[in-house]
């Protein structure tokens, strides 16, 4: 029993390994900014913060109508990035209620667009994120 207590004390003192969080790549940071945009549209400040200063579109609510999927490799050049994005419309959103849940699969649309991002400080932010139509 005393050996068990001794082992427990040693483990508590030393820890269970490194405390460093896993590092992400630049490409992963860029992709996270693109795919997370659909979650930010509901909050004005979060939506504004997702874009470089002055670049947030006025049609914020339209961004909640789509899902965003990375559709290829990002081209990263210094503090600029270009990302191919598949924009999927007709996605059922919990914000839209039961009527949206009744949409048929045939009403879903997919459009390929190119979005541009720019690094501000340590964060990647959207510079141009056009929607279909």
Whether 85 shows a pLDDT value over 60: the answer reads yes
Domain assignment present for 45:
yes
Domain assignment present for 5:
no
Domain assignment present for 31:
yes
How far is the C-alpha of 28 from the C-alpha of 21, rounded, in Å?
Answer: 15
Q: Could you list the residue range(s) of the whole structural domain that residue 101 is in?
A: 26-128
42-77 pLDDT, tens digit each: 999 999 999 999 999 999 999 999 999 999 999 999
Domain assignment present for 84:
yes
Whether the Cβ atoms of residue 103 and residue 90 lie closer than 8 Å to each other: yes
Domain assignment present for 14:
no
Number of domains in the chain: 1
Whether 95 shows a pLDDT value over 60: the answer reads no
Please name the residues in contact with 66: beta carbons below 8 A apart, sequence gap of 6 or more: 38, 87, 88, 89, 91, 131
H-state helical runs in 1-133:
2-14, 26-35, 37-40, 44-50, 98-101
1-49 pLDDT, tens digit each: 444 444 444 544 455 555 566 788 999 999 999 998 988 999 999 999 9
């Amino acid at each position: 029993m005393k050996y068990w207590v001794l082992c427990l004390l040693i483990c508590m003192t030393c820890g269970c390994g490194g405390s460093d969080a896993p590092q992400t790549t630049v490409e992963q940071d860029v992709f996270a900014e693109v795919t997370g945009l659909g979650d930010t549209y509901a909050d004005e400040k979060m939506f504004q913060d997702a874009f470089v200063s002055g670049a947030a579109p006025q049609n914020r609510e339209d961004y909640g109508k789509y899902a965003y999927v990375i559709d290829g490799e990002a081209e990263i050049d210094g503090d600029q990035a270009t990302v191919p994005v598949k924009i999927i419309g007709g996605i059922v959103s919990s914000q839209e209620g039961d009527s949206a849940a009744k949409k048929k699969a045939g009403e879903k649309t997919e459009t390929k667009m190119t979005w541009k991002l720019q690094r501000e400080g340590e964060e990647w932010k959207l510079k141009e994120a056009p929607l279909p139509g």
